Amino acid sequence: MSIPSMGLEVSTAILVMSFQTYQLQESPESGDREAPDVACSTAAAALDADAITRPPQRPPTRQSQHQHQDPAGARSLAGGSWGFGIAGETSPESLTPSRSKAPAAPDGAAALGLPSRVPGMSGAPPSYCFVALPPRAKDGLVVFGKNSARPRDEVQEVVYFPAVDHEAESKVECTYISIDQVPRTHAIVISRPAWLWGAEMGANEHGVCIANEAINAREPAAETEALLGMDLVRLGLERGTTAKEALDIIVSLLDEHGQGGNYYEDAHSCHSFQSAYLLVDRDEAWVLETVGKYWAAERITEGVRCICNQLSLTTKMDEEHPELRTYAQSQGWWTGEDEFNFAQVFSPADDHLDCCAGKDSLEKQEESITVQTMINILRDKASGVCIDSESFLTTASIVSVLPQNRSSPCIHYFTGTPDPSRSIFKPFIFVDDVKLVPKAQSPCFGDDDPAKKDPRFQEKPDRRHELYKAHEWARAVIESDQEQGRMLRKTMLELEKQGLEAMEEILSSPEPPDPAEVGDLFYDCVDTEMKFFK
């Protein structure tokens, strides 16, 4: 079967048609069809070289009064053929090698040569945000990317919220506390752990992207429930029209409400962290790092930048909390005599001050950085950028391209599924009438959600959405390292490649895309990806 050719008339329609028509063929063992002759892209070649370091596992079954049945039309993992079983084997167990055959992957921290922080999940896992601006980014584009490293059984959902006008003196209920609402919130699309209100990463209708990193600092983070760093990501997106405006909003809310509370859905212990942010728009990027209510920020207008779960700002700070240095002196962390170095002053004494894996992955790129370059970086397990350990996993990823030419739309690619090396990046474009994507959204439990009850997290409901369930099966096939898994992986990448090519045509077109055609773009890509898995 040949790959459907990319037409030039309606790129988005062709993208969806490509997903719908390019179904995975059965392996030669079935005797029905030949395996597809798929040319490997650079990403595919990198994935084929990636050693399988962790055996696939059947997703844990959660018994809870909140357990939901599979939505209509969704396949059960326990039964039913998805159409590409290996020699008649159609259950995850039949694709899973014994644990003794493949040792668990090392911690991301260990892979970077850093002290392991995984036991008890007491520390922030290695996680990375990236930005590339001209001249390093290609064709006058700003390219943004993030891997979200979270507890490996946590589900992330991709959710679109339209712009809304709010009543005067209304409140907004964040993850743990309520705060004053603003008169109008912007349209946003976010990827978030399904149990909380905020976001790990996302974008708004004005071309602002924000991502958050949990960080460890000399001053322990507050366990008292306040705003989470992830709440501040969403609040910045809902209220800011530029990266700088979003930064100002975040630090103002930080000063008013503070940050604190459990970052994980865990009833047994509180995992609280300080926060760092990468805020990006079409013109510039800002790195914001916070310790309690104190903060420092650096403006980036060209080149590349990576942030991770460690403080990175040193002596170059374009803005800072007015009492930052006074506070450091009062704690005995800075004498006031030598040059003020934010990371040295506020980092733990035993902390490593260089996000080496992400920084090296980005800076070693010799050619102009593109969307595909950023995707390849996020998929790199060998460097530690893509985390896959016993406790943590890259549970979702985003890549955004922000043209400096304002006549071109910003395009945001979400996986909505774990492990970018086993996932498809699907495009989203803001228009006035975006079609909601319930298949990428987790079940809603309302006031019965254990995350909202006191005490919190006494149960863990099944938060898997339909796309997540379908992807669980596909990931088990891929991780089996059998011929059918390799074939599936290559085919997924070819579909993704066609999507990237279709979006490049939109970016290069002198005319803006037809809103009627791109409003359901992400919906159609999710829908056809699920059909493809079946």
Reported in sequence order, the residue ranges of 313-381 that DSSP labels E, i.e. its strands, are 319-320
Cα–Cα nearest to 409, from 327, 519, 305: 519
Q: Quote the DSSP letter at residue 260.
A: B
Annotated catalytic residue: which of 40, 129, 308, 355?
129
Tokens read off for 121: 């999940």
In whole angstroms, what is the distance from residue 126 CA to residue 385 CA? 8
Partner residues linked to 204 by β-bridges: 188
Residue for token pair 């084997």: 89
In whole angstroms, what is the distance from residue 270 CA to residue 127 CA? 20
Phi, psi of 243, rounded to the nearest 5 degrees: -60, -40
Greatest Cα-to-Cα distance within the chain, rounded to the nearest angstrom:
78
40 is catalytic: no
* CA quadruple 67, 71, 77, 80: dihedral, nearest 10: 140
Is residue 53 packed enough to be buried (19+ CB in 10 Å), middle (13-18) or exposed (0-12)? Answer: middle
CB atoms within 10 A of CB 49: 8
Sign of CA dihedral 191, 195, 197, 200: negative
Tokens read off for 208: 């602002």
CA distances from 236 to 127, 203, 212, 233, 297 (A): 20, 10, 11, 5, 15
* One-letter identity of residue 445: F
The helix (run of H) or strand (run of E) holding residue 497 is: helix 483-508
Is residue 170 packed enough to be buried (19+ CB in 10 Å), middle (13-18) or exposed (0-12)? Answer: exposed
DSSP codes joined into one string, 51-110: ---S---PPPPPP-TTPPPPPTTPPPTTS---S--BTTB-SHHHH---GGGSPPPPPHHH
Q: Where in the sequence numbering do the catalytic residues fall?
A: 129
